[in-house]
Amino acid sequence: MQKKIIASLFVSTALLMTACSDSKTTTETKTAPAVAATEAAVPAANTEFDYKLAPKKVADNVWCFFGALDKPTPENAGNMANNCYVKAGDTYVVFDTGPSYVFAKQAYAAMSKEVGALPVKVIVNSHEHDDHWLGNDFYKQEFGAELIGPSLINTKYKAGDKTRMFKVLPENAIAGTKIIPVDKSIKKEYDFTVAGIDFQVIPVPVKAHTGEDYFLFMPQTKVLFAGDLVMNGRITSGRDGAVIGQITALDMIKAKNWDVLIPGHGFITDKTATDEARLYFTLTRDRIMEAIDNDIDATEINEKVTLPEFKDKKMYDILNSNNVSYAFDEIDML
């Protein structure tokens, strides 16, 4: 069955794949890796969207696909988040699965070409936002992979729901995508081992980026997959989160003494990967607290707290003022 799947994948994608990156291990990527073109015209609906995916090696046995620093659009077809593969013996463990079935299928084809056509054993989803897990069904159908992810995926979404990706992505990118439940959700650290490689799935005990966030740590190689608890090169979205919880999550991540960290969005993976996030949330908290002490109310907060240090980051104009308003409501209730 697996050979059939791989053969099919290669036939359908052979003319579409771009050249893969070289195999040199890289722990810092401050310029954008290959991502879906954001200016290209959307292909006809009867031709499968070409994500032009090329995995980038970021550590021993770890490859990632880096999405554009952008919102989801018909042009990028939701390829604006990061997801990663870990080679564990003769299988893969995957962290986040992308915005659609088509994306997941093409990511697997790219990994099969670059590293090997291995079965996917375990999926770990970082949080409930659909750009990170709508590829789950591909891995469940093809490999029966175990899906570990937040319970919010099961309680907030059901088969047939039209989430953001269904509304934004072109038909030839979202085709075949199905919402399915995760198999396992956790409230405390969950450890598992595949082919001698240890993994720790760690839930954040407070609202952070969302109401339920996981990060994944590999203690033997000190590689950490942060999901959207960490972004760099762009502003985060605080619509479902909490500034105080974000700082708590960053403290938990720091305690792991990681060497390589893959953010949910962004290209920096070295020891500076969390610097932007920590500064953003710390300044937001401190300046809002100061404004409240000075009797600034909700109608004035966006004039007083602007975070100009981040004005050149992607998504600042779209997200920053809303983030400040959300944080004001949160901190004003403390």
Q: Is the pLDDT of residue 280 over 80?
A: yes
Q: Is residue 113 part of a domain?
A: yes
d(C-alpha 45, C-alpha 62), whole Å: 33
Contact 301, 291 (CB under 8 A): yes
Phi-psi region of 46 (alpha: psi -120 to 50; beta: other; left: phi over 0): alpha
Q: How confident is the model over 176-181, as a mean pLDDT?
A: 98
d(C-alpha 64, C-alpha 59), whole Å: 10
Residue written as token pair 């409501």:
329
- The confidence score (pLDDT) of residue 46 equals 67
Q: Is the pLDDT of residue 236 over 70?
A: yes
Q: Is residue 292 part of a domain?
A: no
**Number of domains composing the chain:** 1
Residue written as token pair 């292909």:
43
Q: pLDDT category, 27, cuts 50, 70, 90?
A: very low
Q: pLDDT category, 225, cuts 50, 70, 90?
A: very high
d(C-alpha 129, C-alpha 91), whole Å: 26
d(C-alpha 169, C-alpha 159), whole Å: 18
d(C-alpha 147, C-alpha 334), whole Å: 36
Q: Is the pLDDT of residue 5 over 60?
A: no
- The confidence score (pLDDT) of residue 6 equals 42
Q: Is the pLDDT of residue 22 over 70?
A: no
Q: Is the pLDDT of residue 263 over 70?
A: yes
Task: Copy the structure tokens of residue 255.
Answer: 């305690």
d(C-alpha 22, C-alpha 4), whole Å: 27
Q: How confident is the model over 190-196, as a mean pLDDT?
A: 98
Angle at Cα 109 formed by Cα 106 and Cα 115, nearest 5°? Answer: 135
Contact 304, 296 (CB under 8 A): yes
- The confidence score (pLDDT) of residue 16 equals 36
Q: Is residue 295 part of a domain?
A: no
Domain containing residue 180? 2-273
Task: Copy the structure tokens of residue 205.
Answer: 């005990």
- The confidence score (pLDDT) of residue 207 equals 98
Q: Is residue 286 part of a domain?
A: no
- The confidence score (pLDDT) of residue 36 equals 41
Average pLDDT taken over every residue of the chain:
90
d(C-alpha 153, C-alpha 180), whole Å: 9
Q: Is the pLDDT of residue 3 over 50?
A: no
d(C-alpha 41, C-alpha 333), whole Å: 46
Q: Is the pLDDT of residue 173 over 90?
A: yes
Alpha helices in the chain (DSSP H): 2-13, 101-114, 136-143, 151-156, 164-168, 171-174, 243-254, 275-293, 301-304, 316-332
Q: Is the pLDDT of residue 274 over 60?
A: yes
Instruction: Please write the tens of the pLDDT for every residue from 65-95.
Output: 999 999 999 999 999 999 999 999 999 999 9
Q: How confident is the model over 289-294, as a mean pLDDT?
A: 98
Instruction: Please write the tens of the pLDDT for every residue from 101-116.
Output: 999 999 999 999 999 9
Contact 256, 224 (CB under 8 A): yes
- The confidence score (pLDDT) of residue 91 equals 98
Find, among 97, 102, 113, the residue nearest to 146 by Cα. 97
- The confidence score (pLDDT) of residue 265 equals 98
- The confidence score (pLDDT) of residue 21 equals 38
Q: How confident is the model over 235-244, as a mean pLDDT?
A: 98
Contact 121, 92 (CB under 8 A): yes
d(C-alpha 201, C-alpha 308), whole Å: 35
- The confidence score (pLDDT) of residue 64 equals 99
What is the CATH classification number for the domain harbouring 264?
A: 3.60.15.10
Contact 58, 87 (CB under 8 A): no
Antiparallel, parallel or unpaired: β 197-203 and 62-65: unpaired
Who wins on pLDDT, 170 or 28?
A: 170
d(C-alpha 144, C-alpha 139), whole Å: 7
Q: Is residue 91 part of a domain?
A: yes
Q: Is the pLDDT of residue 7 over 50?
A: no
d(C-alpha 167, C-alpha 165), whole Å: 5
**Helix (H), strand (E) at residue 31:** none
Instruction: Please write the tens of the pLDDT for every residue from 34-49.
Output: 444 333 344 444 699 9
